[in-house]
Homo-oligomer: A and B are copies of this chain.
Amino acid sequence: MKLSPESLEAFAHAASLGSFSAAARQLGKSQSTVSEAISRLEIDLGLTLFDRSGKSPVLSAAGQALLGRVEEVLSASDRLQRTASALAGGLESRLTLVLSDAYQSEHFKSRIMQLAERFPELEFECIFAENADIISLISSGRATLGLLPVEGQLLPEIGRAPVAERAEFAVYASPGHPLVQQGEIESSQLAQWRHLGLNTLSGSAQGQEWQPVSQIRSWSAPNYLILLDLAVMGFGWAVLPRWLVDAYAADKLVELTLPDWPRFQALEVVWSRKRPLGPAGNWLRDALASHP
């Protein structure tokens, strides 16, 4: 059995206005149409929705109980239509942002909140990866937009735009690590201890070249959070984003004081030129690139 949307709408309006004819006026239909729609609904549901003994109809107990359900149907149908017209207006059906853990800021968070406000019908997905993995997700089409530390050479199909903010990196080790005992350290001394660095699934990548290199066989992990855990466990030293250490290991890692550290790494937004950005992607790219 099908419940016609006309009946549901007539019922909802009549219930909230307490009058069939008022509902008819509000809906721009004739009174008889509303009356018939409601009585058809009553027949379909097998229930009396209104007590019509008085001058104006009053919701019955069943009507009260069902009104909420009817409104759920109508609002779901409304959402469907809003989403459809957003899509028909050119909005992309989904925006996938791939992020590096290198960076996080209030500016970034507020941009995402603005995105949610501006494009309420957008399906938004956020995934995490580092370095070359970000690029490969973008060029494969799995992700629409990426945010990562600037890399040297990229494929020409990858569009890129600089981001105003920078990510701060420092060298950290656990409090128990031998490097922490010494006061001032030379960069060369790092080479004597195990380095904890990023790896990537995409073979080509060798991470950022500006990281200090260790002579000892280094350990690697696919993201900064695991790297941070390894450092906390004392397995070696690592170059980590400051915000991440402050947020998750403020008291469990010590920053090493080295010449030229901490460093500030420029960031950029990337996308694929093969798949043109939709309005939300365009907006987010520009918003991330703009000054705070």
Residue positions of A touching B, CB distance < 8 A = 1-6, 45-47, 61-62, 64-66, 69-70, 72-73, 76-77, 79-81, 83-85, 87-88, 92-94, 123
By beta carbon, the residue of chain B nearest A5 is B2
* Contact residue among B1, B79, B87, B123 (Cβ-Cβ distance under 8 Å from A72): B79
By beta carbon, the residue of chain B nearest A82 is B69
How many monomers of this chain does the complex have? 2
By beta carbon, the residue of chain B nearest A92 is B61
* Contact residue among B65, B76, B123 (Cβ-Cβ distance under 8 Å from A73): B76
A134 to B87, CA, bound (A): 55
Q: In the complex, which residues of chain B have a beta carbon less than 8 angstroms from the beta carbon of A76?
A: 69, 72-73, 76
Tell whether, in the assembled complex, residue A65 and residue B87 are in contact, meaning their CB atoms are under 8 Å apart: yes
Tell whether, in the assembled complex, residue A83 and residue B66 are in contact, meaning their CB atoms are under 8 Å apart: yes
Tell whether, in the assembled complex, residue B1 and residue A46 are in contact, meaning their CB atoms are under 8 Å apart: no
Tell whether, in the assembled complex, residue B93 and residue A64 are in contact, meaning their CB atoms are under 8 Å apart: yes
* With A64-B93, A70-B80, A94-B61 as contacts: A88 and B3 at CB distance below 8 Å: no
